[in-house]
Structure 1
Amino acid sequence: MKAILSPYFDAPGPAKFLRRGRFVEHPDVAQRGNQIRVGLEMAGCEIVFASSQPELRKLIIAVHDTAYVEYLESAWSNWSKMPDASTEIFPNISPNRHIAQFNENPVALAGWYIADCAAPIGEYTWRNALLSVSAVIQGASCLRAGEFAIYALCRPSGHHACQDRAMGMCFLNNAAIAAQELHQQFAKVAILDIDMHHGNGTQQIFYQHSDFLTISIHGNPANFYPFYTGFENECGSDEGEECNLNIPLPPGTNEASYIQALEKAIDVISSFKAEALVVATGFDTFKSDPLGCFSLESTSYNEIGRKIKSLSLPTLFVQEGGYFVEALSENVRQLVAGFESV
């Protein structure tokens, strides 16, 4: 398998984020990117670095709102010109968009376009997000050219990014952008999200589309981030009715229960007759991940990889979560090894 890495896969991450009312050290540290790369190398992947892709902005706007993209492009520049500006942009007001008037003040824009305090914007956020998209676009191009499987190492992640809002450490929805690009060639594209957290942004982007199937296996949002989406009754609407499947699982979910949920997802993907697959790939389901609550072992990812391979679809793995624990590189290796063993 070829692994395509953003050139900034090991860039310093944000300093802080808000968790349970406290600002704490941000978990997306540079060592995390290095661990994932080690895991890919251990699995025998061919390592390639992404380069800037032509018409990249056009491809992003095919998924994201133009005004939102323009905000991300200029957010830091405008923010840093304010007196006493912080080194990272956090929203300090959350407007009711149904009644609020749009305001171009940098503080107002932060509240308008950043949904929570887990997605601070710094000086290099736009650069890093842009090259993450380059990695998935390059990966999608490889699949369109006939390659069977690609792993795209993106930092920052993307599956919480909505059409016009950043949240949960995500700014541009890498998986959604890749799926849209694959749809240029493949009539039906499935997105399988195996991150610990519900892929709310991906769901929102494709919720009314019948050519995309979105499935997310995640912690029950009744008491887990992102709290407001990811429930079983969210099935898609209009043309996308029955094209969205959420499988929320309880804290402590072990391998047997997780694989049962994955098998259900695989059956739905098969029935959908998908022609290509994007896997929003998170390892925060691991038993000791600092942001997870499941009980998967390293060897669990080998079985997950084997199950995904059983679909026999051109597959793009897109990096989402999985944070700085000693076993992260082994978890990555196990997933790739399982996929390639079938």
Structure 2
Amino acid sequence: MKVFFDERQLGHKPEVYYRGGAPMPHPEQPERAILIRDMLIEHGFPISAPADFGTDPIKAVHDPAYVDFFSDAYERFLKEAPEGALGIPTRHPGTRRGRCPKDINGAMGWWMTDTSTPLTENTYEAIYWSAQTAISAAKDVMDGARASYGLSRPPGHHAMTDCANGFCFYNNACIAAHHMRAKWGKVALLDVDVHTGNGSLDIFYDRGDVFFCSLHPDPAVYPTFYLGYADETGEGDGLGASLNEVLNMGDGETEVMEALDRGISAIQDFGAEALVVSLGFDMAADDPLAAVEVYAEGFAEMARRIAAMGLPTVLIQEGGYLGPSLRANAEAFLTTFRKEIGG
């Protein structure tokens, strides 16, 4: 199984964000990807640099103006910001009536929903190559590989059609899934990150050609809030093509595997011909953002059940932060998945 990764993804280095009104060290750090990359090298996974597909595949799922905003946003911020300011949005339009202003602070609030997606010197380069990593993994599977892994960082599944959210800028998994529609009539996106794939839900909610399933705790009490309730099943052409498997805070591996099995059954009933997995390791019991309790063997069992679906599969990295077991969990899932698919 080939791995795609680009060193330029390490350039985004956020310092702080605000949680519950308090400043916190930002958990989405480059070391996450370095740790997983080094583990993969030790296990003999071939790692390739992604190709450059440009912005068209990104704009296929995102508002083009939103995509373009990030290309020079940090430089614009520096020109207007006071000495020592951080590129954190501080103004938000709420209902989003109106239009994007010329002022960079207003524009940041227009395109960025919270404080977790600050602009840094190399943010655009990092998110651009994170998306190219996902597209390259998708292309590898479209060209005949049984499976491929995009070590995308920053992650993407909270990024909505036209706004950044929850550490995420471009929705790498949605970009990959839409790209795969050029070959397969029905594609499924399975999100096993602990947080609601709210961005993916937003992007595919009215589409019937991509089935979306997310496993996550109740958004009434756990971030990312707002989207991901069990009665949100899609609309228009997408009615019935969204499935939110809502867990309880503190659920263990039994409940998580039961939810995974229901999601797999729904994907099979949909008739998916190919699969994208938003792969988060933050379901770990000791993750810094922990909400449920999955351990290394649980991640290995997830890999077995997903591999047993027998679909051409693209794995796209999402969450999983610098807790004690991150490496072990990534190792358990990825080495097990490779073994189950035979290479």
TM-score, L = length of structure 1: 0.96
Aligned to 1:39: 39
Residue matched to 2:267: 269
- The answer as to whether partners of 2:158 and 2:197 remain within 8 angstroms in 1 is yes
Partners of 1:38 and 1:220 in 2: how far apart? 34
How far apart, CA to CA, are the structure 1 residues paired with 2:325 and 2:174? Answer: 28
Aligned to 1:68: 66
Which whole-Å CA distance do the structure 1 matches of 2:149 and 2:281 have between them? 14
* Distance in 1 between residues matched to 2:150 and 2:275, nearest whole Å: 13
For residues 239-258 of structure 1, give each alpha carbon's deviation from its aligned partner in whole angstroms, at most 9, with x where no partner exists: 00000000111111111111
Range moving further from structure 2, 328-337 or 210-219: 328-337
Give distance in 1, aligned partners of 2:96 and 2:16: 30
CA contact (8 A) 2:287 2:322 kept: yes
CA contact (8 A) 2:58 2:175 kept: yes
Q: Once superposed, what is the RMSD of the aligned Cα atoms?
A: 1.4
Residue of structure 1 equivalent to 2:111? 113
In the alignment, the residues of structure 1 paired with residue 96 and residue 115 of structure 2 have an alpha-carbon distance, to the nearest angstrom, of: 21
Separation in 1, partners of 2:97, 2:57: 31
Counterpart check, 1:221 vs 2:219: yes
Shift of 1:43: 4.2
Equivalent residue pairs, number = 340
Q: Is the 8 A contact 1:38 1:329 kept in 2?
A: no
How much does 1:37 deviate? 1.1
Question: How do residues 1-342 of structure 1 correspond to structure 2 at under 5 angstroms?
Answer: 1-11=1-11, 13-51=13-51, 53-54=52-53, 56-84=54-82, 86-342=84-340
Q: Which amino acid aligns with 2:16?
A: K
C-alpha separation in 2, matches of 1:34 and 1:101? 39
Q: After TM superposition, which residue ranges in structure 1, 4 or more long, deviate above 6 angstroms?
A: none
Query: Following TM superposition, by how much is the alpha carbon of 1:30 offset from its aligned partner in structure 2, in angstroms?
Result: 2.2
* 1:7 CA displacement: 2.2
Identity across matched positions, percent: 34
TM-score, length-normalised on structure 2? 0.96
Seen in structure 2, the aligned counterparts of structure 1 residues 42 and 258 have a Cα distance that, compared at 3 Å, is: farther
Q: Deviations over 1:203-233 (max 9, x none)?
A: 1111110100010001211111011111101
Amino acid at match of 1:59: P
Do the aligned residues in 2 keep the contact of 1:236 with 1:243 (CA within 8 Å)?
yes
**Aligned AA (2:29):** V
Deviation of 1:87 after TM superposition, in Å, equals 4.7
Report the Cα offset of residue 11 of structure 1.
3.7
**TM superposition shift of 1:40:** 2.3
Indicate conservation of the 8 Å contact 2:150/2:314, yes or no: yes
Is 117-126 or 86-95 further displaced after alignment?
86-95
Q: What's the offset of the Cα at 1:86?
A: 4.9
Is residue 65–residue 164 contact of structure 1 (8 Å, CA) maintained in 2?
A: yes
Residue 124 of structure 1 aligns to which amino acid in structure 2?
Answer: N
In 2, the alpha carbon distance for the partners of 1:290 and 1:79 equals 30
Letter in 1 for 2:14: P
Query: Comparing 66-75 with 5-14, which one deviates more in the overlay?
Result: 5-14
| Larger deviation, residues 36-45 vs 326-335 | 36-45
| Aligned amino acid, residue 15 of structure 1 | E
The answer to whether the Cα contact below 8 Å between 1:162 and 1:173 also exists between their aligned partners in 2 is yes
Contact 1:114 1:167 in 2 (8 A): yes
Deviation digits for residues 284-322 of structure 1 (CA, Å, limit 9, x no counterpart): 000000012111111111100000011100111101000
Residues 5-25 of structure 1, C-alpha deviations (whole Å, 9 max, x = no match): 122344452001111111110
Q: 1:46 to 1:163 in 2, by over 3 A?
A: same
Q: Secondary structure at the match of 2:215?
A: strand
